[in-house]
Structure 1
């Protein structure tokens, strides 16, 4: 008997995420043989194919945390799911905590321009409020990336609900035994539960085996903070240190020590192309990403920018996103997600 597959349409996927670009791209990859396959495809689409506007569209589909009134742009199913996801928060809320949430939500939106986004399932009002206060001091670009990660967690939970519902429909239509349908649903819940547990363990500093990647282990993007927009057309080079010493020695010439790994040019969203192969395990070592900033900004102070960072043996299964925030007379970076 041929393996069962589950097809998902654009309208159903808009309910899961809120981004029409996400829904269109993932619907093209449908049908899927398992929830795990769908989640892998969803992560690839969300992190590699959805631009800033698509992310903001997804964010806008969520109500402010702590409010039961759905967003005007929310899909009806999405609005229903939002209430369920916030059920613990509502059950643990007090008049005081809801008032604080409303005040901090307003401060957050005024600073960042989008609603505070968090995977609220199973979280109390106090937990959510504490996380909001913790994230509020973040720089906008850092907070945007955190929000994108939280959006993906929510999307994965909703995909699990969608697949569970479709599995029941398929089982009923094909007259499958009830035990088979129950087992399929348990398997799907186990997959999504394990995925979210793994994410929690990473944040707690535990070492786990990562799933197969859908993007290279080292990525970057460039934002022009002087214009408030992505920097397109920036040449990017990735190298690894293979010199006579374990690492470059400060003050000594490093000529011939760096080995080319890959190059690309940022697209209209400021994202670099594929700088290296998609592998589950990246080689530990010292890496350098260089940006040809003089070509992008000929009048700027920096002819080029190089960022050097180290991947340790214990980190070889992690993802390393190293963005560049650039202006004509300054630049900064951080380890993103």
Structure 2
């Protein structure tokens, strides 16, 4: 994702190909990017964020898994990916024992659900993310899918806001 903020007007006026690329930096699901782009012209920022929510709610399970596949494991931010590094800032400096626990809990979660544990990590401590991971592990798959969908929507909202406002 670009660290250079765009104005709302410049994003709204971006050509279709570039807009799709920008949106895919926000969320790895092509179905989501296409759905959000199709709602243009947005009358304001709120309309763009509403488009995110509507597109996220409409994703099929396959599309949702594709979106989740674009996210690294909690505790293992993707090297060179500024959004991942920034969103998981609380993991930097966590003690090795906590990181080991995160790795084990992530592996158990992925074995059960078939996808990474997804949580809006912005503003959360490593310990809080581990606690949430443990709390959500007993969920039924359908329940967990909907929780992950909500977390993705929050992540996308933050990424869209950051795209427009910069850091």
TM-score range, shorter chain: 0.7 to 0.9
Report how far residue 32 of structure 1 moved: 2.4
In structure 1, distance between residues paired with 2:41 and 2:87: 26
Say whether 1:157 aligns with 2:158. yes
Q: Return 5+ residue gaps in structure 2 as ranges.
A: 1-7
Q: Which residue of 2 aligns with 1:89?
A: 91
Q: Return 5+ residue gaps in structure 1 as ranges.
A: 71-75, 166-184, 186-337
| Superposition map of 1:184-199 within 5 A | none
Q: Which residue of 1 aligns with 2:68?
A: 59
In structure 2, distance between residues paired with 1:20 and 1:69: 20
In structure 1, distance between residues paired with 2:107 and 2:78: 15
Q: Is the 8 A contact 1:88 1:124 kept in 2?
A: yes
Q: Which residue of 1 aligns with 2:136?
A: 135
Report how far residue 146 of structure 1 moved: 0.5
Report how far residue 90 of structure 1 moved: 2.0
Task: Classify the secondary structure of the residue corresponding to 1:66.
Answer: coil
Report how far residue 27 of structure 1 moved: 1.1
Q: Deviations over 1:65-97 (max 9, x none)?
A: 000235xxxxx7xx3201101102324x11000
**Equivalent of residue 29 in structure 1, options 28, 39, 42:** 39
Report which of the two has the higher share of helix: 2
Report which of the two has the higher share of strand: 1
Q: Is the 8 A contact 1:35 1:159 kept in 2?
A: no
In structure 1, distance between residues paired with 2:26 and 2:40: 15
In structure 1, distance between residues paired with 2:149 and 2:139: 14
Relative to the length of structure 1, the TM-score reads: 0.44
Moved over 3 A (4+): none
| Superposition map of 1:173-192 within 5 A | none
Q: Is the 8 A contact 2:78 2:85 kept in 1?
A: no
Q: Is the 8 A contact 2:28 2:68 kept in 1?
A: yes
Bigger relative contact order (CA 8 A; separation at least 6): 2
Q: Is the 8 A contact 2:78 2:84 kept in 1?
A: no
**Would you say how many aligned residue pairs link Structure 1 and Structure 2?**
154
